[in-house]
Amino acid sequence: MNVVIKKIKFTTMNKTYSELVRDWRGRHCFATQYANPDGKRIFLTYYFVKKGYTISKVFKRSGEFLYYYCDVMEMHQVGRLRYVMVDLLLDLIVYPDGSYHLLDVDEFADSIEKNHLKKKQQVYALHTLHRMLQLTTEKKLIPSFIQEATMYPLAGKLKQ
């Protein structure tokens, strides 16, 4: 089955695409897999619609696990297997040893200055990030089913 996602990122994109669902855990948690534009990394991305973030398990093309890439998102289901996702710019990388690195705070600040993010979105993003950081510190952000997930075989040319 496929899911249709409209992704909005104020700084770079506004596109709609269809992705094959790789792991269905209900309409509020599902996964797709795609190649990063650099072609070197594969993202198995779990969308946590009600929690407001995605967690991608990132692999080398060979299938070797690298790290988790987490995006703060505002997500809404708008139809059967149709979602709108607004990237709220704050990202978190969680490494296999449990350490983490916060990304794109400058991009978040720039978007606030340019009035791209509404106050409600700014507050939501910061609350969500705070919750993600707490869970990371407690080693509870990455569910066991994601920790155990493996990359799906690459059939021919994987969509980028």
Average pLDDT over residues 17-25: 95
Task: Quote the pTM value.
Answer: 0.93
DSSP, res 95: -
Question: For residue range 55-102, what is the model confidence (pLDDT) as tens digits?
Answer: 999 999 999 999 999 999 999 999 999 999 999 999 999 999 999 999
Average per-residue pLDDT for the chain: 93
Residue spans per domain, the chain: 2-147
Task: Write the pLDDT tens digit of every residue in 40-57.
Answer: 999 999 999 999 999 999
CA-to-CA separations, 154 to 2, 35, 45, 52, 159, in angstroms, rounded: 17, 10, 15, 28, 10
Cβ(42)–Cβ(36) below 8 Å: yes
Residue 133: is it exposed, middle or buried by C-beta count within 10 angstroms (0-12/13-18/19+)? middle
Q: What is the pLDDT of residue 159?
A: 45
User: Tokens representing 144?
Assistant: 């066991």
Cα dihedral 33/3/90/143 (nearest 10): -60
pLDDT in tens, 126-154: 999 999 999 999 999 999 999 999 999 98
pLDDT at 10: 75
135 to 69, 102, 128, 130: CA distances (angstroms)? 14, 14, 11, 9
In CATH, what class is 2-147? mainly beta
Name the percent of the chain lying above pLDDT 90.
89
